[in-house]
């Protein structure tokens, strides 16, 4: 993959060379931690290669590069490390400049944005390209944290700590990173993102002063363990059970970050709670047009975000992108809204494509061979209130195609989600007389939840399904509204 200019291509069918930055950091660490294992001739060859990479990074991966923010954060780290290794002040200066640039890309809620094209995009709703539980926590923040520690930039380190605290509520109690609203959710694996490095090294280091960070690193590591078979980390919790092979990319990326954590030293730490153990009952993130709700053992996200990654979509239109229960785990977890391979060489095809379904609950209809669905609506309006029994979130949306087209006769729908300690109640109404052609699709993961249809009717027997992202088995329910266009569903867990 090495090119004449010193950069490395992502793969043999890709022109993208930004990945040079990760190879450079790894080569630097190999030399620093275990360079004594090399002969003098070998070490000279490795250092020559590292210098070659450094020149390419210095010349090509700057603020003006056509790259997502995680690459600039990684180069802030790489330039700082290589600047010290080669005593190059220009490299160190670029590292500091890139870090400052990246740290400016945070919302008022402390969420890093820049995982989209353009990096600074702002949607009509004011949403930003944010990949909270993917690239933010597995690459951008770890790289910025390491830059700050390596450079001794205390101001940047303090900002990094604040940003980590802002992202920690997105770790679920089982150690998963909730990326159901992320712009790059099509690469969501439940434990993180398919081709990023992971959070353990950064959080373990920060955890030496604040145990909550070490706790997060440990819980995520425990999830790695549950998704690992025969030494390989699988691309989702139930990939192995579904007969899917393991992509080795997940293993070598995350083995690398675990090695880095071990090199830095993993101290004993006090076990503490995470923010998601006792979350706010209702919180709104305008930069994602998303409400996060909690009641008792339930956690839920409802997403209306109108910004998406080029060629890929996450749950939108006021859909439930995540429903999690303490004893049942994830009941709804939405990666991509379809099985499109936005990054064909960085995603995985199923060996059982006939069972692969979108994990997104949605109101939809078929017209002229085109699916029109509420999950594609970018103009959905969300509102919420906190009642005595729990949060209630309301949605008004239109049915449209993936490219934004509407059916011959416009169809609007109303949705209401009521979360209590005992159940989630979903009620809906289709406002037009075409209700007979519309259905509510409810993909439900696992086998621990019970579904009661209080209004409307079951269209057919629930069909087995597998969602490639983040990788769970379940059943797809199809509910027809009543003659008045209404439906109501109650989900409980024994």
Distance CA 487, CA 338 (A): 25
> Is residue 14 in some structural domain?
no
Helices (H), 289-330: none
Whether residue 435 has pLDDT greater than 60: no
Which pLDDT does position 311 carry in this prediction? 65
User: Is position 331 within any domain?
Assistant: yes
Domain closes at, from 241, 276, 311: 276
Considering the domain architecture, whether residues 238 and 317 belong to the same structural domain is answered as no
Task: Answer yes or no: is pLDDT of 449 > 90.
Answer: yes
302 plus 416 within the same structural domain: yes
Cα 331 to Cα 473: distance, rounded to the nearest angstrom: 10
pLDDT at 308: 79
Residue 2 maps to a domain = no
pLDDT at 407: 85
Same domain, 466 and 416: yes
pLDDT > 80? residue 388: yes
Q: Tell me, yes or no, whether 128 lies in a domain.
A: yes
* pLDDT given at position 312: 63
Indicate whether 249 and 389 sit together in one domain.
no
Q: 134 lies in a domain?
A: yes
For position 396, what pLDDT does the model report?
97
Q: Are residues 272 and 161 in the same domain?
A: yes
Q: pLDDT (tens digit, 9 = 90+) per residue, 203-224?
A: 999 999 999 999 999 999 999 9
Q: How far, in Å, CA of 78 to CA of 184, rounded? A: 24
Of the chain, the percentage scoring pLDDT greater than 70 comes to 98
Per-residue confidence band for 448, with pLDDT thresholds at 50, 70 and 90: very high
90 shares its domain with 210: yes
Instruction: Report whether pLDDT(341) > 80.
Output: no
pLDDT at 434: 61
Query: Which residues make beta-bridge pairs with 453?
Result: 489
- Which alpha helices (H) appear in 390-482, and where do they start and end? none
* CA distance to 82, 143, 359, 448, 483, per residue, from 453 (Å): 61, 48, 19, 17, 15
Q: Which residues pair with 476 in a beta bridge?
A: 443, 463
Residues 69 and 145 in one domain: yes
Bond before 329 cis per omega within 30 degrees: no
Please tell me whether residues 157 and 254 are part of one structural domain.
Answer: yes
384, β-bridge pairs: 393
Q: Do 327 and 193 fall into the same domain?
A: no
The mean per-residue pLDDT over the stretch 157-181 comes to 98
- HSE at residue 124, side-chain half, CA atoms within 13 A, is 7
Q: Which two tokens stand for residue 460?
A: 């057919």
| Residue 245 near residue 236, CB atoms below 8 Å | no
- Mark whether 435 and 470 lie in a shared domain: yes
What is the 3-state composition of the chain as percent helix, strand, coil, each rounded to the nearest 5? 35, 25, 40
Residues 6+ apart with CB under 8 A from 56: 5, 6, 7, 17, 20
Whether the pLDDT of residue 271 is over 60: the answer is yes
The span from the CA of 233 to the CA of 236, in Å, is 9
Q: Which residue has the higher pLDDT, 19 or 352?
A: 19
Task: Say yes or no: 337 and 260 in one domain.
Answer: no
**Residues 6 or more apart whose Cβ sits within 8 Å of residue 410:** 398, 399, 432
> What CATH number should be reported for the domain holding residue 323?
2.70.98.70
Go through 312-332 and write b for each residue having 16 or more CB atoms within 10 A of its CB, e for each that does not: bbbbbbbbbbbbbbeebbbbb
Taking the model in full, what pTM does it have?
Answer: 0.95
Tell me what the mean pLDDT of segment 449-455 comes to: 97
Give the mean model confidence (pLDDT) for residues 392-415: 91
Averaged over 128-148, what is the pLDDT?
A: 97
Q: What is the pLDDT of residue 214?
A: 96
Domain count, the chain: 2
Residue 29 is assigned to a structural domain of this protein:
yes
Domain hosting residue 313, numbered range:
295-493
Give the Cα separation of 112 and 141 in Å (integer): 8
Q: What is the CATH number of the domain that holds 233?
A: 1.50.10.10
Overall average pLDDT of the 13-27 stretch: 93
pLDDT (0 to 100) of residue 4: 92
Question: 217-263: per-residue pLDDT in tens?
Answer: 999 999 999 999 999 999 999 999 999 999 999 999 999 999 999 99
| Statement to judge: residues 342 and 243 lie in one domain | no
Instruction: Say if 393 falls within a structural domain.
Output: yes
Q: Is residue 471 part of a domain?
A: yes
Q: Which tens digit of pLDDT belongs to each residue from 55-103?
A: 999 999 999 999 999 999 999 999 999 999 999 999 999 999 999 999 9
Task: Give the pLDDT score at 315.
Answer: 87
Question: Final residue of a domain: which of 248, 276, 304?
Answer: 276
End-of-domain residue from the set 247, 276, 305 = 276
The single residue listed with the structure tokens 């930039």 is 153
Residue 433 has pLDDT above 70, yes or no: no
Lowest mean pLDDT, pick from 132-146, 238-252, 335-349, 397-411: 335-349
What is the average pLDDT score of the chain?
Answer: 94
Give the mean pLDDT of 315-339.
Answer: 93
28-54 tens-digit pLDDT: 999 999 999 999 999 999 999 999 999
| Cα distances (angstroms) measured from residue 162 to each of 107, 211, 325 | 12, 15, 28
Stated as kind and residue range, the H or E segment containing 454 is strand 449-455
Give CA–CA dist 240/117, Å, rounded: 34
> What are the helix and strand counts (H, E) for the chain?
9, 19
């Amino acid at each position: 993959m090495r090119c004449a200019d010193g950069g490395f291509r992502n793969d043999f069918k890709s022109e993208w060379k930004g990945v040079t930055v990760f190879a450079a950091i790894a080569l630097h660490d190999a030399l620093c931690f275990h360079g004594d294992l090399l002969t003098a001739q070998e070490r000279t060859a490795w250092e020559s290669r590292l210098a070659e990479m450094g020149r390419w990074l210095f010349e090509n991966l700057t603020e003006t590069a056509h790259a997502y923010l995680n690459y600039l954060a990684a180069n802030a780290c790489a330039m700082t490390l290589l600047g010290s290794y080669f005593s190059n002040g220009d490299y160190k200066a670029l590292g500091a400049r890139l870090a400052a640039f990246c740290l400016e890309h945070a919302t008022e809620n402390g969420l890093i944005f820049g995982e989209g094209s353009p990096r600074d995009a702002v949607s009509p709703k004011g949403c930003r390209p944010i990949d909270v539980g993917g690239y933010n926590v597995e690459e951008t923040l770890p790289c910025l944290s390491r830059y700050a520690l390596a450079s001794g930039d205390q101001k940047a380190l303090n900002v990094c700590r604040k940003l980590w605290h802002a992202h920690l509520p997105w770790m679920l109690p089982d150690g998963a990173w909730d990326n159901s609203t992320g712009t790059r959710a099509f690469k969501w694996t439940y434990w993180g993102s398919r081709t990023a490095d992971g959070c353990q090294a950064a959080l373990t280091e920060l955890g030496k002063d604040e145990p909550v960070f070490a706790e997060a690193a440990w819980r995520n590591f425990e999830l790695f363990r549950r998704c690992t078979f025969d030494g390989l980390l699988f691309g989702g919790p139930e990939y192995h059970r579904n007969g899917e092979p393991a992509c080795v990319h997940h293993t070598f990326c995350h083995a690398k970050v675990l090695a880095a954590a071990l090199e830095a030293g993993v101290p004993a730490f006090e076990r503490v709670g995470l923010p998601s153990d006792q979350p706010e009952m209702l919180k709104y993130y305008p930069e994602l047009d998303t409400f996060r709700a909690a009641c008792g053992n339930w956690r839920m996200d409802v997403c209306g975000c109108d910004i998406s990654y080029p060629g890929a979509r996450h749950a939108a239109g006021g859909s439930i992108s995540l429903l999690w229960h303490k004893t049942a785990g994830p009941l709804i977890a939405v990666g991509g809204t379809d099985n499109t391979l936005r990054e064909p060489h960085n995603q995985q095809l199923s060996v059982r494509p006939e069972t692969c379904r979108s994990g997104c609950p949605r109101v939809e209809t078929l017209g002229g061979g085109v699916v029109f669905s509420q999950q594609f609506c970018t103009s959905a309006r969300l509102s919420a209130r906190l009642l005595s029994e729990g949060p209630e979130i309301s949605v008004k949306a239109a049915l449209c195609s993936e490219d934004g087209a509407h059916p011959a006769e416009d169809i609007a729908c109303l949705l209401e989600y009521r979360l209590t300690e005992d159940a989630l109640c979903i009620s809906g109404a289709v406002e037009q007389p075409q209700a007979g052609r519309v259905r509510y699709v409810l993909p439900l993961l696992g086998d621990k939840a019970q579904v009661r249809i209080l209004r409307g009717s079951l269209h057919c027997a629930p069909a087995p399904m597998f969602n490639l992202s983040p990788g769970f088995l379940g059943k797809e329910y199809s509910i027809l509204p009543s003659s008045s266009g209404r439906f109501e569903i109650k989900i409980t867990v024994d």
